Structure 1
Amino acid sequence: MENEHLESRVERQRKSAKKKHPRKKLIITIILSILGLGIVLGGAYAAYVYNMAHKAVNQTYSSTGSGNERANAALLNSKKPFAVLLLGTDTGTNGNFGSNRDRSGLTDSIMLVIVNPEKKATTIVSIPRDIMTSIPGFESSFPQKLNAAYAFKETADSNASLGDGVGTTMKTIEKMFNVPINYYAMVNMSGLGQVVDQLDGIKVASPLTFTFSQDTAEQYGNNLYHFTKGSTTFKYAEDGSNFSTYTSMNGTAALAFSRMRYEDPLGDYGRTLRQRLILQAIIDKAKSNPTKVLNAKFFNTAAKNIATDLTWNDLLTIGSSYLSASDKITSYTVQGESQMYNGVSYQRLTTNQRQAMTNTVRSALGLKSAETGHEFSSTVSSSDIYSVGLADDLYPSSNTKANLKLNNGN
């Protein structure tokens, strides 16, 4: 079987290339807030902002080729609940997707957002990128991590190729949890630093004390940052030894703060928390300084670093008909069981853990209950599982119920 781990292969390619920008790991979801900010300004300026936003959104549009555009538009027009897959990726040309929309690579952040105006609620579920999976249509590559699904683009002859595999990622998650996904929105993480800089920095209190180098991704090296638990101040040393103290994060500091993973005792879950803190700080700063984001420079940054299959008309419909869904926002995290395979750490989900995810999402969408999907998304034979040294049912189902972790503060 061709089971070389794709994440390792892409990582080797990434490290061998000369980098102008460190790789970033954060998800931005503020694109939907921009429309509302423009409306309140009124007059000629509002029209100016409207035109800039319209142009930027048109540039971000990229279809998955699913053929569901009409059905999804009808769903929005009927004010029905919908689900958006939010992806953060580490790809891009000189810090953005580039004119050719090159997006080969891996997804570092994966979230499913369910917007329900009927319940006046929004549900956000963070999904670990390290979940072990068999990617539908590419079973010969088993096992892979969930974040590698993005690197497989479905082609006419079903051959795997590095490329824009958003549709493959959506299909993998849909099959694993037996839930429908209507749209996606993807952000190139290097663009986040530009947004923070355009806001003249942000303040975030660190939930833990840690040291992190943008150059080495370790506790040593040049461009070294030191964050202290409970403090919004931090230290930075370009040479790795002579530190200066700062009271506000610029773009590179925010990315360093959100990128660290291995020193956090909570691993990916801790990183998700820090990502949410950065996101909230950006939203708060944008609300208090709307002109900082309602300008040509910001929209140009957004157009270069965001891709979505939500159209301009879709966003207008959401802005006018779904505002009540922001009354209550609840955030969950899927937690699995760690397992090492060939020196690589994976997450595996029990049947009950997958069922908890299925129940949460389908309930948020107003759908009837259903059995969860296959652990590996795509059916893998027992012989294939055993051939790579894995147990067919490592974590069997039991009568014990599993629940998603409810994130604090939501």
Structure 2
Amino acid sequence: MSRVKRKRTWLKVVLLLVLIGIVGSGAYGYSIYHNLQKTAKSVHAPIDRKPVVERPSKLDMKKQEPFSVLMLGVDERPGDRGRSDTMIVITVNPAKKSMEMLSIPRDTRLEIVGKGINDKINHAYAFGGIEMSMNTVEKYLDIPIDYYIKVNMEGFKEIVDAVGGVYVNNDLDFTYENHHFTKGELVLNGAEALKYSRMRYDDPRGDFGRQMRQRQIIQGVIKKGANVSTLWKYNDMLKAVDNNVETNISFDEVKNIQKNYADARHHLEQIQINGSGTKIDGIWYYIVPEDERASIQSKLKEHLGLS
């Protein structure tokens, strides 16, 4: 599988968010509700693990306590678990009516928890799947990771098209794969959103620019997925979710998110981790200074009400 194709993976992280958004739209007709419940049960995959960073007490969504989600964009092939080429941590705070979205560069060098080595963070999934990925991110960020959403390669263009395209505010004039993206507000269909999000080498910000555009697409799908006008295509969206998503978020928890956390989606802050690239033993890594890591940890803890 080429690197270009792997860059598509992250777009599938939006699929479960669309599921949550549909619930949040108030569409509770019997047929829709039944199909939502069926899809949620189909993609539900609980995980039994001992957290590396434990909460002071068990998360209680009914009390509107802040929570976190690790999104993994995974390139899986027959006989090969693959790697999580995209890792995004989202924290949700209903009291502040806000979400924070942190992209972790896939080449970030850190300790792989359970493996006992320092390596690229995207190797954690290849070594130990969901559990090792969650444990590694927990230790690195020093926050509890409550939920995960794992998504595969298929369905990214269809889901953007199913919500009627997404709006983005483009700050860089560029051309990629024969499509020109002008500065300003753009409306992108699925194919255009893919091109917009995967351009990297012509951006002076490098991977940071690509990560920013990825988060813009995710934010756009969250907004459109929660819009009642998209519901006429809800079957297409649910089919894409069913085919491409695995998560430990249950249907009851999805309903709790809609009931107690819906307003948080209106204010989303994008966060990046600053560092620099270097080669160690001939392998390229992204190195994050300890003071930068501590600053990110402090920000996330504060948003989760754990500082």
Structure (1 or 2) with the larger CA radius of gyration: 1
Kindly provide the amino acid, as one letter, of the partner of residue 137 in structure 2: I
1:24 maps to 8
2:96 aligns with 119
Equivalent residue for 1:145? 120
What is aligned with 1:386? none
Aligned-pair identity in percent equals 29
Of 291, 303, 316, the residue aligned with 2:242 is 303
Distance 1:273 1:327, change over 3 A: closer
Distance verdict in 2 for CA 1:80–1:277, change over 3 Å = closer
Which structure 2 residues correspond to residues 9-408 of structure 1 after superposition, within 5 A?
Answer: 14-15=1-2, 24-26=8-10, 27-28=13-14, 29-37=17-25, 39=26, 41=27, 46-66=29-49, 75-91=60-76, 104-139=81-116, 142-153=117-128, 165-202=129-166, 204=168, 206-212=170-176, 224-230=177-183, 249-286=188-225, 287=227, 289-295=229-235, 297-326=236-265, 328-368=267-307
1:178 CA displacement: 1.7
CA contact (8 A) 1:193 1:252 kept: yes
1:48 shift after superposition: 0.9
The number of equivalent residue pairs is 298
For residue 62 of structure 1, report the CA deviation from its aligned partner.
1.4
- Call closer, same or farther: CA 1:205–1:124 in 2, change over 3 Å: closer
The structure that is strand-richer by fraction is: 2
1:78 and 1:105 mapped to 2: Cα distance? 38
For residues 54-77 of structure 1, give each alpha carbon's deviation from its aligned partner in whole angstroms, at most 9, with x where no partner exists: 111111111232168xx9975223
**Bigger share in helix:** 2
For residues 72-106 of structure 1, give each alpha carbon's deviation from its aligned partner in whole angstroms, at most 9, with x where no partner exists: 9752233222111122223367xxxxxxxx88212
TM-score (norm 2): 0.84
Counterpart code for 2:126? A
- Report SS of the residue matched to 1:313: helix
Cα shift at 1:169: 0.9
Q: CA deviation at 1:293?
A: 3.6
Q: Which runs of 5+ in 1 are unaligned?
A: 1-13, 94-101, 154-164, 213-223, 234-247, 369-410
Bigger RCO (CA 8 Å, 6+ sep) = 2
* Cα 1:196–1:330 shift into 2, 3 Å: closer
Deviation by residue 1:267-316 (Cα, 9 ceiling, x = unmatched): 22101221133234434544263224422x22111111111100111111
Mapped contact 1:200–1:250 kept (Cα < 8 A)? yes
Question: Does the C-alpha gap of structure 1 residues 145 and 188 become closer, same or farther in structure 2, counting only changes over 3 Å?
Answer: same
One-letter code aligned to 1:172 = T
- Distance, in Å, in 2 between the alignment partners of 1:332 and 1:117 is 18
Counterpart CA distance in 2 for 1:335 and 1:366 is: 24
* Distance in 1 between residues matched to 2:38 and 2:112, nearest whole Å: 35
Over 3 Å counting, the alpha-carbon distance change for 1:53 and 1:132 in structure 2 is same
In 2, Cα distance between equivalents of 1:284 and 1:117:
17
State the Cα deviation string for residues 350-380 of structure 1 (Å, max 9, x = none): 1211110110111111113xxxxxxxxxxxx
| TM-fit CA distance, 1:30 | 3.0
In structure 2, relative to structure 1, the CA distance for the partners of 1:327 and 1:259 (3 Å cut) is closer
Structure-2 change in CA distance of 1:22 and 1:367 (3 Å): closer
1-structure distance, mates of 2:19, 2:158: 14
- Following the alignment from structure 2 to structure 1, what is the Cα–Cα distance between the partners of residues 161 and 267? 30
- Over 3 Å counting, the alpha-carbon distance change for 1:116 and 1:52 in structure 2 is same
Unaligned runs of 5+ in 2: none
Three-state SS of the structure 1 residue aligned to 2:160 is helix
Return the letter of the residue paired with 2:8.
Answer: K
Write the deviation string for residues 97-127 of structure 1: whole angstroms up to 9, x where unpaired.
xxxxx88212222221111223333222222
Contact 1:198–1:292 (CA under 8 A) maintained in structure 2: no
Kindly report the root-mean-square deviation, in angstroms, between the aligned alpha carbons of the 2 structures: 3.0
Change (3 A) 1:249 1:115: closer
Check the 8 A contact 2:91/2:100 in 1, yes or no: yes
Offset, 1:150: 1.1
Amino acid at match of 2:269: T
